[in-house]
Amino acid sequence: MSLGLLVPAFLAGLVALAVPVYLHLRHSEKTKPFRFPSLMFLEKLPIRTSSRRRIVDPLLLLLRALALGLIALAFARPFFSRDVAAQISKRPRAVVLLLDRSASMSHKDVWPAAVDSAKQVIQTIGPGDQIAVVLFDEEAEIAHAFTADQGVARAAVQAAKPGQRGTRYAAALRAARQLLTAAPDATHEVVVITDAQRSGVAGLAGLDLPTGMAIRTVAVGTKDKGNTAVTGIDIRRITTGDKTTIAAQARVTSHDLPGPRKVRATLALNGRASGARDVTLPQSGDFTVAFDAVPLPAGHVNGTVVVDADAMAVDDTFHFTLPDEDELRVLLVVPDDAAANETLFFERALAIGKAPAVTVERRRPSTIDTKSLEKAGLVVYWDSPPLAGPIEPWVKKGGGAVVVAGHRLAAHPGTSPIVPASISGLADRIADRGGTFGELSIDNALFIPFRDARASLGAARFWRYPRLQPSNGTDVIARFDDGLPAIVERRESAGRVVMLAVPLDADNGDLPLQPTFLPLMRRLVLHTSGHESSPLWKVTGESWNPQAIVRTPVVSTPSGEIIRPAADSAGAAVALTEAGVYSLYDGRVGGEPAAVVAVNPPPGESDLTPVDPRELLLGVRLSNDAVDAAQAKAAPKELENRQSLWRLVIVLSALVLIAETLLATHGWRGVAGRVTASPSQSD
């Protein structure tokens, strides 16, 4: 039984309790004073007035405070929720069984124990009760909605098996919350059967769950948490003349081993063993296994690194693919009168870095044709207008173009429709010691490297720059401190054009001398070109969009299943649920795959460190939805009866006030003075 308040805001009236306390402390001021012939002598004495700060009549004060408190409580409309609790206890149960099927559940005998626990929960379902079975890893799948048939639920559990994905308790609890909304009249109960992996708690913080939902966790993990996993690989290409070799370094992680463990790590490329190392792993921690350099096979390369199997086999094999050389070709179109050192900083900045390596090829404006654009990822117009021709359709098909505006373009802006802004002269900021960046659209992908260091961009100063006037459909993603656009961007169908008024040379500004120049330029070319590096591997739970590679994608999964992603953008992505290699074909499976992607379980799944089941719900917010829902169903008359307590409280406060009046006006309290001698004064 608990006490609720209909209008708890009225409890603010409890502030009025300060009134009787104040009056009590001031009481001596209000009583009839003792009239004395002269204070001539008393005024000479050091008089302590502590009596004013002391409660002289605690009983009277208590009664007055009690009366005020009761009145405030009555206005807050109290009610007992005993009836609701009783109703809830008599309701049928609606049990949601959340069964963890993440990769870690394949460790030793965890899964059979989980299945047994699930069956025991199903057995507790009585007449009128319902149970739903939800399988979860990183996502939740309703294996069977609410049913009263134990056999059906048991079959759903029996059909489940551990997968190769990570763990997310939040997804499971959300699914349970959603399911339970379909059973508002039942007592809500959620049973989570899991190995209680700590890595799965992400996302629980801030999750809203109704208070009426009773959550019970059944931990089925084993005490032996020792595990070894291959968690990553780094591959370096070594080109010597015409011969290219690769040197691989695998990262092996051990967790809670009983002692150092000797294992054999084997590297295989395209199914052929290419190297092996015998290593001794520490009890806990990372260990790098360096394999000898091996010749790079032709075509797509799929590889694996395998260590000796342990109790959890799914993370003992690591899959990876080796994409073709990752390179981005940039055509730098410079005007005829451009000096060589004008683009020096820009070219040097792009030359630094790998994955992808940026190759800059200087071109004159007239040399840009369809053939030169075929292998280009980006065209940079250095203070020169794009000429009419193949650049426009190339951009619209997905190419990227950067227009770096300067004094030449300000004088002769050209007429190309892909230029996102016109130019009206030059802004000279030499007089005020140069301009700086002002407003930035920091959420734009161009500024990803600077989101945590926004101030670093403010150090650059610009003496002279063109006045851009953006055309329709153009986004201004950066402005100078005088409000003029600094960087504008416009999407052209699948492509993108970015125009900079920011001087990229050292004559009109000092941006090339700033530390931000290199990451900004690299991000500029990657963002504008839309280049995406091909990863060596992905993890289960991610998705893969093969439509960007082939027109009619057909995907072969590691288990041999054939997937034909829908052509629309929403369904084009393939969910990567299995560890292994996914192969992409165009139209039909056969021949050389158009692309491959290796998938491994999340590294976090290899760490079997459990979390205390009580900690699982620490970050969860509980709301009164369940109680409110139950109350909403109560009849108005019943609701009124529950709240009739306020009348009793009002009567009680009236009685207290009467008692206070009687107490205050009778006995010694009725006498005003508190001096023993009562003066007889004649008027």
Partner 1 sequence: MTSVAPATFLDPAMLARISDLALLARTVVEGFMHGMHRSPRKGFSIDFAQHRQYQLGDDLRRIDWKAFARTDKFYIKEYEADTNAGVVFALDASGSMNFGSGSVTKFDYGRFLTASLAWLSQHQGDRVGLITFTDGLAEVIPPSTRHLQLMLHTLGHSHASGAGQLKTSLDRIAHITPRAGIIVLVTDCYEDPELIGRAIAVLRARRHDVIVFHLIDPAERDLPGRDAAIFEDLESGTRIPLRPGELRTKYRGLVDAHRAALADRMTNAGADYVPVETDKPLDAALYAYLDARLAKSRVR
Q: Tell me which residues touch partner 1 (CB under 8 A).
A: 28-29, 31, 33-45, 47-52, 56, 673-683
DSSP per-residue codes, 308-340: ---S-GGGSEEEEEEPSP-EEEEEEE--TT--G
Distance between CA atoms of 607 and 225, rounded to whole angstroms?
Answer: 8
In this complex, which beta carbon is closest to partner 1, that of residue 48 or of residue 243? 48
Nearer to partner 1, 5 or 23 (CB): 23
Give the Cα separation of 466 and 406 in Å (integer).
Answer: 6
Nearer to partner 1 among residue 15 and residue 671 (C-beta): 671
DSSP string, 139-166: SEEEEEEEES-HHHHHHHHHH----SS-
Closer CB to partner 1, 53 or 243, in the complex: 53
Task: State the residue for tokens 């009664």.
Answer: 63
Q: Tokens representing 378? A: 């980006």
- Closer to partner 1 by CB, 665 or 676: give it: 676
What backbone torsions phi and psi does residue 594 show, to the nearest 5 degrees? -70, -30
Output phi, psi for 58, to 5 deg.
-60, -35
Pick between residue 51 and residue 641 the one whose CB is nearest to partner 1: 51
Give SS3 for 244: strand
If the CB atoms of residues 298 and 675 are measured against partner 1, the closer one turns out to be: 675
Least distance from partner 1 to the Cβ atom of residue 49, Å: 5
CB of 45 to partner 1, least distance (A): 5
Burial string for 119-149 (b: 16+ CB within 10 Å, else e) reads eebbeebeeebbbbbbbbbbbbbbbbebbee
The smaller minimum CB distance to partner 1, of residues 559 and 676, is found at 676
Q: Helix (H, G, I), strand (E, B), or coil: what is residue 95?
A: strand
Residue carrying the six token digits 């006006």: 665
Going by their DSSP bridges, the two strands 261-269 and 208-210 should be labelled as unpaired
Smallest distance from the beta carbon of 63 to partner 1, in angstroms?
21
Q: How far is the CB of 33 from partner 1 (least distance, A)?
A: 4
> Judging by beta carbons within 10 Å of its beta carbon (0-12, 13-18, 19+), is residue 206 exposed, middle or buried?
exposed
CB-based contact 443:452 (threshold 8 Å): no
Say how far apart CA 92 and CA 186 lie, in whole Å: 5
Kindly state the smallest distance separating residue 2's Cβ from partner 1, in Å.
Answer: 45
Residue 380: closest CA among 399, 407, 398: 399
Min dist CB 638 to partner 1, Å, is 55
Q: How many CB atoms are closer than 10 A to CB 14?
A: 15
To partner 1, the closest distance from the beta carbon of 50 in angstroms equals 8
DSSP tag of 542: -
Supply φ then ψ for residue 147, to 5 degrees.
Answer: -145, 150
User: Got the DSSP string for 476-535?
Assistant: EEEEETTS-EEEEEEEETTEEEEEE-S--SSSSBSGGGSTTHHHHHHHHHHHHHT--PPP
The sign of the CA dihedral 66, 67, 68, 72 is positive
Closest CB 37 distance from partner 1, rounded Å: 4
Q: Compute the least distance from the CB of residue 35 to partner 1, in Å.
A: 5
- Look-up: residue for tokens 């003029």? 484
- Residue 270, both tokens: 């395209």
> Any bridge partners for residue 266, and if so which?
276, 306
Nearest approach, Cβ of residue 19 and partner 1 (Å): 21
Residue closer to partner 1 (CB basis): 472 or 678: 678
H-helix or E-strand containing 121? helix 110-123
Least Cβ distance, residue 669 to partner 1 (angstroms): 13
Closer to partner 1 by Cβ: residue 280 or 678: 678
Which residues on adjacent β-strands are paired with residue 595? 584
In the chain, the amino acid numbered 486 is: A
Tell the smallest beta-carbon distance from residue 36 to partner 1 (Å): 5
- CB of 29 or CB of 324, closer to partner 1: 29
Least distance in angstroms from the C-beta of 44 to partner 1: 6
By beta-carbon proximity to partner 1, the closer residue of 38 and 240 is 38
Closest to partner 1 by CB, 42 or 455: 42
- Smallest distance, partner 1 to C-beta of residue 72, A: 31
Return the structure tokens found at 420.
């996102």
Give 64's DSSP letter: H
Residue 52 or 454: the one with the smaller Cβ distance to partner 1 is 52
Question: Running DSSP on this structure, what letter comes out for residue 268?
Answer: E
Please, what's the largest Cα pairwise distance for the chain?
Answer: 130
Among candidate residues 440, 418, 450, the one with its CA nearest the CA of residue 522: 450
Give me the least distance between CB of 671 and partner 1, in Å please. Answer: 12
- At 18, which amino acid appears? A
Q: Nearer Cβ to partner 1, position 31 or 158?
A: 31
